[in-house]
Every structure is written in structure tokens, then in C-alpha cells.
């Protein structure tokens, strides 16, 4: 992941580490919102979040997957209709209950969209309600 910006500072066994995920369109880090939306974190007397090694590894994995999704979404921005993509992701993820499930499913969905665009699979795009995107990839 990238460095700099407003990464979430966490402490794992007294060692300062960071968690981050960058929105490629805005350049803003939103890892804190993802992590805090999912669970209540323990903090130390200075207000820094404290995680176990296992918790840190789990969140690093989730946020790495989310960053891969951000990178994919940014790379596809000229080839896919943004509203169609938002609608598709909403439909595919609306019943998921955790940030971890959401990050995994969004990544899978973006891989499917990217594959359909790359292969110019208009049947898949039509089936999944991407009519404007079909016009872009033709």
C-alpha cells in the first residue's frame, strides 16, 4: 500500500504501524472509516488503537483487498459507466453484513467487470445491466 497521508495509526505489541486504503479519485485515505465501522477498537491512554498481531494481519488483508479494488476501479474509469458500476456493486453486495465480506465481494465483482470489458463480453455486460459500458467497449 502507499505511504503518507492520513493512515490509521495502530499499535501492535507497542510497535506503531499503519493501516490505509486510498480512494484513487480523491487521494483520501479511508481506512479508519472502514475499520471503525466494523468494530469497536481498544485504544491506549493517548487514544491510539491497539490491535493484536492477528487483528492487524486480518485488517491488513482486508484493506489490501480493498486497495486492489480501488486500483481496479480507477483503472477502469474510462471504460465503464460509473453509475452502472455503482448499481452493479450495490446489487451484488447489499446483503453483506461485514466490511470484510463487502471488501471480498466487491473485489470479485470488479474482477468480473474488468474481465468482461477486457474480453469485450457484451453478453455478460448486457446481462448485468451495463448498456452504456457496452457502447464504450465496442
Q: Where are the domains of the chain?
A: 1-66, 78-138
Give the mean pLDDT of 14-35. 91
Across residues 86-115, what is the average pLDDT? 95
Q: 83: buried, middle or exposed (CB in 10 Å: 19+, 13-18, 0-12)?
A: exposed
Q: Please tell me the predicted confidence (pLDDT) of residue 5.
A: 58
**Cβ atoms of residues 63 and 23 within 8 Å:** no
Q: Which residue has the higher pLDDT, 25 or 85?
A: 85
Q: What is the mean pLDDT of the chain?
A: 90
Q: How far is CA 122 from CA 92, 105, 115, 138, in A?
A: 19, 22, 11, 9
Task: State the helix-helix crossing angle for 53-76 and 99-118, rounded to 10 degrees.
Answer: 30
| Alpha-helical regions (H) of 39-81 | 53-76
Predicted structure pTM score: 0.85
**pLDDT bracket for residue 45 (50, 70, 90):** confident
Q: What is the mean pLDDT of residues 17-42?
A: 87
- Mean predicted confidence (pLDDT) in 107-132: 97
Side-chain half-sphere CA neighbours of 107 within 13 A: 15
Q: Is the pLDDT of residue 134 over 80?
A: yes
Cα–Cα dist 33/131, whole Å: 33
pLDDT of res. 135: 95
- Residue 4, pLDDT > 50, answer no
> What is the C-alpha end-to-end distance of the chain, expressed in Å?
34
Q: How far is CA 69 from CA 16, 64, 114, in A?
A: 26, 9, 11
Amino acid at each position: 500500500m502507499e505511504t503518507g497521508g492520513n493512515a490509521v495509526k495502530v499499535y501492535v505489541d507497542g510497535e506503531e504501524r499503519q493501516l490505509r486504503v486510498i480512494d484513487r479519485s480523491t487521494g483520501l485515505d479511508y481506512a479508519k472509516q472502514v475499520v471503525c465501522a466494523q468494530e469497536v477498537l481498544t485504544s491506549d491512554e493517548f487514544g491510539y488503537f491497539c490491535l493484536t498481531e492477528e487483528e492487524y494481519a486480518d485488517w491488513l488483508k482486508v484493506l489490501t483487498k480493498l486497495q486492489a479494488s480501488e486500483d481496479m476501479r480507477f483503472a477502469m474509469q474510462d471504460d465503464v459507466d460509473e453509475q452502472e458500476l455503482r448499481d452493479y456493486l450495490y446489487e451484488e453486495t447489499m446483503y453483506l453484513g461485514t466490511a470484510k465480506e463487502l471488501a471480498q465481494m466487491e473485489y470479485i465483482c470488479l474482477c468480473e467487470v474488468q474481465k468482461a470489458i477486457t474480453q469485450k463480453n457484451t453478453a455478460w455486460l448486457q446481462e448485468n445491466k451495463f448498456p452504456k459500458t457496452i457502447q464504450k467497449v465496442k
